[in-house]
Amino acid sequence: MGETESKENVDSIPFINDEKKALIVRSIGILILIIVIVQDVIFILTDKIDSLLYTTFLTTLLIGLTLIYQFDSVFLNTLTSLTFMGFIHISILFIPVAKSIEKVLGGVIYHSLIAIFQSILVFHKKIKISKKYLLWGFVFYLAFFNGYDTFARWNEIVGLNILISTKSTQTYAFYTLIFSAVFIYHYKKKYNVLAE
């Protein structure tokens, strides 16, 4: 019991100690959440409900919540960071097909910003990630990719649908997710910021 209490006390030390910085980070998170809610309403009113089930939309929501909780939630840190390699790859794959301002902003830049945020979560030597949530997050994303967001859509938006099959993308995504989880686990363990 005493060991658990001392562990909780260490985990309860806030990542951001400065009140002004905490307010700025929280405000950015709230702003992102407001944008996500406005997008929700627009998607519902324009009957584009499928867009609410895209990995990009889910990750944007998780980023907003991670900022609101100021990186103190190992659950949110873990779930938000788990797809970082996928977003790095998607950002790169968007470059050749970004022939309009919309594709540059909504494709390359938007996905790159997500990848950068996720990479900060992964590579920062003081932001905690949970090994328990790495496992559960892995299972969650497998179910999410196979049940809601589609690999055929991924191929189509980056122009790979004429080059590779949906099955190839599915296999690639599966191994990328495994590699991401294993990499995060070992990296965070090395710097002693891997929570239970």
- pLDDT tens for the chain, residues 1 to 196: 444 444 443 455 578 888 999 999 999 999 999 999 999 999 889 988 887 888 899 999 999 999 999 999 999 999 999 999 999 999 998 898 888 898 899 889 999 999 999 999 999 999 999 999 999 999 999 888 877 777 778 888 887 777 888 888 889 889 999 999 999 999 999 999 999 8
**Confidence at residue 157, expressed as pLDDT on a 0 to 100 scale:** 81
Is residue 118 a contact partner of residue 87, using CB atoms and an 8 Å limit?
yes
Is residue 97 a contact partner of residue 69, using CB atoms and an 8 Å limit?
no
d(CA 190, CA 83): 20
Is residue 112 a contact partner of residue 91, using CB atoms and an 8 Å limit?
yes
The pTM (predicted TM-score) of the whole model is 0.87
Interval 97-139: pLDDT, tens: 888 898 899 889 999 999 999 999 999 999 999 999 999 999 9
Supply the DSSP symbol for 129. Answer: E
Tokens at residue 47, please?
Answer: 């009957």
Domain spans, the chain: 2-195
* Distances 141 to 145, 172, 177, 188 between C-alpha atoms, Å: 6, 14, 8, 20
**Confidence at residue 13, expressed as pLDDT on a 0 to 100 scale:** 59
Is residue 4 a contact partner of residue 58, using CB atoms and an 8 Å limit?
no
**Confidence at residue 6, expressed as pLDDT on a 0 to 100 scale:** 40
**Confidence at residue 10, expressed as pLDDT on a 0 to 100 scale:** 41
SS3 196: coil
Closest CA to 93 of 157, 153, 150: 157
Is residue 82 a contact partner of residue 181, using CB atoms and an 8 Å limit?
yes
**Confidence at residue 59, expressed as pLDDT on a 0 to 100 scale:** 95
d(CA 188, CA 191): 5
What sign has the CA pseudo-torsion 50, 55, 59, 62?
positive
Interval 24-35: pLDDT, tens: 999 999 999 999
Please, what is the angle between helix 55-68 and helix 74-81, to 10°?
A: 150
Is residue 118 a contact partner of residue 81, using CB atoms and an 8 Å limit?
yes
